[in-house]
Amino acid sequence: MNNAVIDHIRLEANSKLDPERKSQLGQFMTPSHIAEFMASLFTNPLKRAHLLDAGAGVGSLAISAIKILKNLRFIDAWEIDPMLQSYLGKNLSKFKVPYLIHDSDFIQDAVMHLNKGIGSKFTHVILNPPYKKINSNSLYRHLLREVGIETVNLYTAFVALSILLAVKGAEIVAIIPRSFCNGPYYKPFREFLLNKCSIDHIHIFESRNKAFGDDEVLQENVILKLSKGIRQKSVTISSSHDAKFIDYKERIVLFSDIIKPNDNELFIHIPTNTDTKTVAGLFSHSLHELSLEVCTGPVVDFRLKEHWLNEPSKSSIPIIYPHHFSQGKFEYPKHHKKPNALRFSPEINKWLMPNGFYVVVKRFSAKEEKKRIVAYILDPHDIQSKSIGFENHWNVFHVGKAGLTEEIAKGLACVLNSTQLDQYFRVFSGHTQVNATDLRNMKYPNLSKLSRLGKQYTSSLTQKQIDSLVDGLA
């Protein structure tokens, strides 16, 4: 069965899926070129193999694994969708490898097998798991905790359960969103993964919408190759523009380039060919070393709804939202469904910050935006008030809950808006959310360099001019 046939079957099945159910289950089936590449990452094809494919779809991954694993003795495939099960059965039946299709819920089955010590143990795992958030009080969350897994998404749950179901020395290959690499929500999963496995290979796609282009998925995905219970060695980092792998390139890096020493958050960096020089030359100091801080905007507006004001007054407190900045310019007040100000009351005082120069970065950027981080400067002369309320969708750079100097604020904004920093940020972040924790764990130029930039930076500079200023620091 060649790639053209497999892709035809995949697209035919995809067209029959109910869009609402597809969204509920987080179903995005694997193109044949990706499946083939993933299977090629198995390094011991002659070993007697027992394969796990959870969320198997029409069988693209399992079929690619059959072609690679020459001594494959059995396949366990989980697929909960009845229509996909019929395709999966027809496709696997064309090969001589024995298989079993489980038409039940993988998470529930896996937890039961682990709790009771029953079921198979796998030497090889190949996965394109579903992508869907897990509610904190859901059945899945409770089941996963029974086997020591704390996570917030189905894809990390599938990977974690597969690791537990695998034997020592097993190889696990998965295509998953890159969001697990950083942020506090995925830290327990990162701890689990690094405790159980070595990271052998990470593949990144340079285009965000090419891996699952047929499904119009605008999501940064990585292909991750793990080995269970094996001592960590160096890591292969590879990349291609899209799922055809025509421009494939790879290099080997030290594990310390992936997980920085003494990083308590265990952020997973994916170094590019250019970032090493950039990081060493430009980004060398932590916020703590610079005596700077960053926090999430303190004002959670719905909790203060009784204090909302559409129009500011002399005694009111401005509340600043992302929509108050448009194309780099500050517009206040601005007619919107949200308030422009808060009626002053002693009970809201703890959420406020004194007027001053602040640098603010949106916590959520649109997926279409070219850069992850877009920084703005709040100038105290633009606000006629002694205090300010920063709404919760901001990250706010400050010094001891007060403003920065003007030069440092402008220099910091210049760096944050540079292409160089965007490339640095992408080394460990693949999603559109920018957390204060992410910004806190990054490195920045020293105060002297920030001050130098601040003397030259204005919000009207073009991207090319900003990048030229930052390049001048190296």
Closest to 378 in 3D by CA, of 349, 402, 342: 402
Averaged pLDDT, 58-70: 94
> What is the mean pLDDT of the segment spanning 25-48?
83
CB 455 within 8 A of CB 472: no
Task: Give the residue extent of every domain in the chain.
Answer: 3-271, 293-471
Q: Taking residues 246-274, what's their average pLDDT?
A: 87
Mean per-residue pLDDT over the chain, rounded: 88
- The answer to whether 163 and 108 are in contact (CB under 8 A) is no
The pLDDT of 97-101, averaged and rounded, is 97
pLDDT, tens digit, 9 for 90 and up, residues 381-432 = 999 899 999 999 999 999 999 999 999 999 999 999 998 888 888 777 666 6
Copy the structure tokens of residue 329. Answer: 């310019």
Q: Is the pLDDT of residue 119 over 50?
A: yes
% of the chain at pLDDT higher than 90: 67
pLDDT at position 210: 47
The model's confidence at residue 215, banded by pLDDT at 50, 70 and 90, is very low
pLDDT given for residue 272 in this prediction: 67
| pLDDT number for residue 284 | 86
Counts of helices then strands in the chain (DSSP H, E): 16, 20
Q: How confident is the model at residue 150 (pLDDT cuts 50, 70, 90)?
A: very high
Look at residues 23, 162, 6, 177 and name the one whose alpha carbon lies nearest to residue 92.
6
pLDDT tens digits along 455-467: 999 989 999 999 9
Q: Cis check for the bond before 333: say yes or no (omega within 30 of 0).
A: yes
Bridge partners, 202 (sequence order): 224, 237
Decide which of 110 and 276 is more confident. Answer: 110
For residue 211, pLDDT beyond 50: no
* Architecture of domain 293-471 in this structure: Alpha-Beta Complex (3.90)
Which fold, 3-271?
A: Rossmann fold (3.40.50)
pLDDT reading at 202 higher than 50: yes
DSSP, collapsed to helix, strand or coil, labels residue 465 as helix
Per-residue model confidence as pLDDT tens digits over 279-324: 556 888 999 999 999 999 999 999 999 999 999 998 999 999 999 9
- In this structure, of 90-99, 146-155, 281-290, the range with the lowest mean pLDDT score is 281-290
- Res. 160: pLDDT tops 60: yes
- pLDDT class of 213 with cuts at 50, 70, 90: very low
Q: What is the pTM of this model?
A: 0.74
What percent of the chain is modeled with pLDDT above 70?
Answer: 87
Query: What's the pLDDT tens digit per position in 329-379?
Result: 899 999 889 999 999 999 899 999 999 999 999 988 665 567 789 999 999
User: Per this entry, what is the length of the chain?
Assistant: 474
CA pair distance 62, 79, nearest whole angstrom: 12
Residues 117-131: what's their mean pLDDT? 94
* CA distances in angstroms from 45 to 123, 124, 286, listed in the order given: 11, 10, 45
CA nearest neighbour of 181 among 166, 196, 199, 168? 199
pLDDT at 280: 52
H or E element in which residue 177 lies: strand 166-177
**Cross-strand bridge partners of residue 75:** 51, 99
pLDDT for position 43: 92
pLDDT of 278 > 80? The answer is: no
Mean pLDDT of 220-238: 95
> DSSP character for 162?
H
In DSSP terms, 294 is beta-bridged to 397
pLDDT number for residue 297: 96
Phi and psi for 358 in degrees, rounded to 5?
Answer: -130, 150
Query: Quick one: pLDDT at residue 426?
Result: 77
In one-letter notation, the amino acid at residue 393 is H
